[in-house]
């Protein structure tokens, strides 16, 4: 059962009946006054810290690799260990928040992330640093699984899109400033200081957040699904590890096959366990809800389509257009900059006109932008390429906030934690899978076009690289079209959805 006193404290009013999973909840009033802005401030600090760190690490990685005299194969685990940990723990973290309280889990993740950042800065070896990054991944999973849920709980349903849009702008701000701040700190104060920047943010925001945030609804009398959580971690790690290292180990090698078999076996066992335990990590009956399923699927497909752009456009700028690295970094800010501008407006528009049409319009713009990348040439101007990235960024910003609003609006408030974890999971898995597949596809097409003149795709002439970009970006555009069809035709109409909620 739901702890009614906790629910009343969180809402500032009497408790309401719990809705069944898969049934759109009735509109509930959020806490009065300025509490919603307090939640946005605290949540925004956690979101900014996590996204800032991603950009910082990407910039600092070459420097710390040289200091530790580590190979790139080993050093990439500084990033991979963090991503794998997040992907594996997002759903269990969301479920844990439903049981223990979103405030408690979120602030715990905040504190752990800050402490792990300090350990990263103190690392005497590459192994220490990788282990500290895994701890950071645990903290980040606890944060990411609860940010949208906390905002959805604090803001009334009529302002949900606006709140998620503002959160999207904070994400974009972190993505924009991370490489700039990380580069400046690493250049003038060393890579260790780049990790220490998270410590004061956490030291201030964690206790302040604990004091200001109200208790969340807590599901009493339930057990944590340890078996399901462990199986999901094994499945996620097996899939990403097998795809990431398959080309290095060999696709028929024992380690690759073991990783992929682990994914298949653990994934099947996870589904079986979730269908039979009384309190699963994720309630599979949620997928009976058309609104939930369509929003989740279109989000995953959108991230899957976007990931190759973030991976390959630096190669296009540097190897085809022959631009320096600093100019390349500046041009790559086009997508998050456009997202930061668009996200708040799209969220507000979805509050007024409904999420279905606004989110689908964003995917139309995303399809146009991705399709335009197919026609990039060896002699195009850098500004022309950046303009295409701006179009993609506007489309993504227009899509994400309304889609997130629809996702959270389709489930009972008691399930917001696990849905928050699932939302972050779609982003991480979509980006990870998209980049792995894009890398393999681009390399295979370029080497085929090179016809044996080189064994490394990055050493091919610019005109030989272009077919690789064209194939990958055409695939991305096709995936975005599928996401558009899912968003437009898969989800219920907003009017019917609101009527069902009442």
pLDDT tens digits, 413-433: 666 666 766 777 788 778 778
Burial of residue 87 (CB within 10 Å: 0-12, 13-18, 19+) is buried
Average pLDDT over residues 140-156: 81
Residue 126 CA, chain-centre distance (Å), reads: 26
> Does residue 5 lie in a domain region?
no
The DSSP annotation for 219-270 comes to B-S----HHHHHHHHHHHHHHHHHHHHHHHH-TTSHHHHHHHHHHHHHHHHH
> Does residue 296 lie in a domain region?
yes
Average pLDDT over residues 165-170: 76
Do 180 and 326 lie in one domain? The reply is no
Do 458 and 502 lie in one domain? The reply is yes
| CATH code of residue 402 | 1.20.1250.20
Asked whether 457 and 468 are in contact (CB, 8 A), the reply is: yes
Do 377 and 450 lie in one domain? The reply is yes
- Residue 19 pLDDT more than 60? no
Do 175 and 196 lie in one domain? The reply is yes
Phi, psi of 219 (to 5 degrees): -85, 115
pLDDT tens-digit series, residues 335-362: 888 887 887 788 778 777 778 888 889 9
pLDDT tens-digit series, residues 105-144: 888 998 999 999 999 999 999 889 999 999 999 998 888 8
Domain of 242 in residue numbering reads as 225-278
- Residue 30 pLDDT more than 90? no
| b/e per residue 476-497 (b: at least 16 CB within 10 A) | bbebbbbbbebbbebbbebeeb
Which residues, including other chains, have CB under 8 Å from residue 46's CB and lie 6 or more apart? 106, 109, 110, 113, 143, 147, 205, 209
Do 330 and 474 lie in one domain? The reply is yes
Do 178 and 309 lie in one domain? The reply is no
Six-digit token string for 252:
């028929």
Q: Please count the structural domains in the chain.
A: 3
Q: How far apart are the first and last CA of the chain?
A: 22
pLDDT tens-digit series, residues 477-500: 999 999 999 988 877 765 444 444
pLDDT tens-digit series, residues 241-296: 787 777 678 888 998 999 999 999 999 998 898 888 877 767 777 788 888 888 88
Q: Whole-structure pTM over 0.75, yes or no?
A: no
Of 167 and 273, more confident: 273
Which residues, including other chains, have CB under 8 Å from residue 264's CB and lie 6 or more apart? 238
Average pLDDT over residues 156-172: 75
Asked whether 214 and 107 are in contact (CB, 8 A), the reply is: no
Q: So what's the pLDDT on residue 280?
A: 77
Asked whether 446 and 469 are in contact (CB, 8 A), the reply is: no
Do 71 and 149 lie in one domain? The reply is yes
CB atoms inside a 10 Å sphere around CB 200:
10
User: How many helices, marked H, and strands, marked E, lie in the chain?
Assistant: 20, 0
Residue finishing a domain among 193, 215, 237: 215
- Residue 192 pLDDT more than 90? no
Best-predicted range by mean pLDDT among 37-46, 237-246, 393-402? 393-402
Do 347 and 384 lie in one domain? The reply is yes
> Does residue 8 lie in a domain region?
no
> Does residue 109 lie in a domain region?
yes
Asked whether 134 and 119 are in contact (CB, 8 A), the reply is: no
- Residue 15 pLDDT more than 70? no
Name 379's bridge partners.
Answer: none
Q: So what's the pLDDT on residue 416?
A: 65
Q: So what's the pLDDT on residue 141?
A: 87
> Does residue 115 lie in a domain region?
yes
- Using pLDDT thresholds of 50, 70 and 90, give the confidence band for residue 58: low
- Residue 39 pLDDT more than 50? yes
Average pLDDT over residues 386-392: 94
Of 200 and 421, more confident: 200
pLDDT tens-digit series, residues 360-373: 899 999 999 999 99
> Does residue 22 lie in a domain region?
no
Q: Which of 56, 153, 134, 145 is nearest to 108 (CA)?
A: 145
**Dist. CA 291–CA 324, nearest whole Å:** 45
Q: In the block, which residue shows the tokens 């905002």?
A: 151
Q: Which of 171, 198, 193 is nearest to 183 (CA)?
A: 193
> Does residue 346 lie in a domain region?
yes
Instruction: State the Rg of the chain over Cα.
Output: 22
pLDDT tens-digit series, residues 203-239: 888 888 888 887 766 666 667 777 887 888 788 788 8
H or E element at residue 389: helix 382-409
Asked whether 219 and 414 are in contact (CB, 8 A), the reply is: yes
Do 270 and 366 lie in one domain? The reply is no
| Composition of the chain by helix, strand, coil, percent to 5 | 80, 0, 20
Do 404 and 488 lie in one domain? The reply is yes
* Angle of the 147-154 helix axis to the 35-67 helix axis, nearest 10: 170
| b/e per residue 318-341 (b: at least 16 CB within 10 A) | ebbbebeeeebbbbbbbbbbbbbe
| b/e per residue 38-58 (b: at least 16 CB within 10 A) | bbbebbbbbbbbbbbbbbbbb
Do 172 and 147 lie in one domain? The reply is yes
Q: So what's the pLDDT on residue 502?
A: 41
> Does residue 10 lie in a domain region?
no
């Amino acid at each position: 059962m739901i702890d009614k006193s906790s629910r009343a404290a969180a809402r500032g009013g009497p408790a309401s009946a719990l809705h069944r999973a898969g049934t759109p909840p009735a509109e509930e009033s959020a806490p009065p006054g300025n509490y919603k802005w307090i939640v946005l401030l605290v949540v925004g600090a956690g979101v900014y810290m996590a996204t800032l760190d991603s950009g910082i690490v990407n910039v600092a990685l070459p420097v710390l690799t040289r200091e530790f005299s580590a190979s790139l194969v080993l050093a990439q685990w500084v990033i991979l260990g963090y991503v794998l940990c997040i992907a594996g723990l997002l759903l269990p973290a969301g479920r844990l928040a439903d049981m223990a309280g979103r405030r408690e889990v979120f602030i715990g993740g905040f504190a752990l992330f800050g402490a792990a950042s300090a350990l990263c800065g103190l690392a005497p070896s590459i192994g220490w640093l990788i282990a500290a990054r895994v701890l950071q991944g645990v903290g980040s999973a606890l944060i990411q699984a609860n940010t949208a849920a906390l905002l959805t709980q604090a803001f009334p349903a009529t302002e949900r899109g606006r709140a998620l849009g503002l959160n999207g702008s904070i994400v974009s701000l972190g993505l924009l400033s991370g490489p700039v701040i990380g580069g400046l700190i690493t250049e003038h104060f060393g890579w260790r200081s780049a990790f220490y920047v998270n410590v004061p943010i956490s030291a201030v925001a964690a206790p302040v957040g604990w004091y200001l945030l109200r208790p969340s609804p807590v599901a009493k009398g339930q057990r944590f699904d340890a078996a399901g959580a462990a199986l999901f971690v094994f499945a996620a790690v097996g899939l990403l590890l097998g795809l990431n290292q398959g080309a290095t180990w060999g696709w028929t090698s024992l380690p690759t096959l073991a990783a992929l078999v682990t994914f298949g076996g653990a994934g099947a066992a996870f589904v079986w366990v979730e269908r039979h335990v009384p309190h699963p990590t994720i309630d599979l009956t949620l997928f009976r809800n058309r609104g939930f399923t369509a929003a989740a699927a279109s989000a995953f497909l959108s991230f899957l389509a976007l990931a190759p752009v973030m991976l390959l456009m630096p190669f296009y700028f540097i190897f085809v257009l022959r631009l320096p690295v600093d100019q390349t970094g500046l041009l790559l800010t086009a997508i998050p900059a456009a997202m930061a501008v668009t996200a708040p407006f799209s969220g507000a528009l979805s509050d007024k006109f409904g999420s279905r049409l606004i989110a689908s319009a964003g995917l139309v713009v995303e399809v146009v932008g991705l399709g335009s990348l197919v026609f990039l040439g060896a002699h195009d101007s850098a500004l022309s390429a950046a303009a295409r990235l701006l179009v993609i960024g506007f489309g993504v910003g227009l899509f994400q906030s309304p889609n997130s609003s629809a996702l959270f609006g389709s489930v009972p408030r008691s399930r917001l934690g696990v849905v928050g974890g699932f939302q972050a999971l779609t982003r991480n898995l979509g980006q990870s899978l998209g980049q792995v597949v894009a890398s393999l596809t681009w390399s295979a097409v370029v080497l085929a076009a090179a016809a044996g003149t080189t064994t490394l795709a990055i050493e091919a002439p610019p005109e030989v690289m272009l077919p690789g970009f064209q194939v990958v970006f055409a695939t991305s555009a096709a995936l975005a079209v599928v996401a558009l069809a899912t968003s437009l035709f898969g989800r219920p109409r907003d009017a019917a959805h609101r009527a069902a909620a009442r």
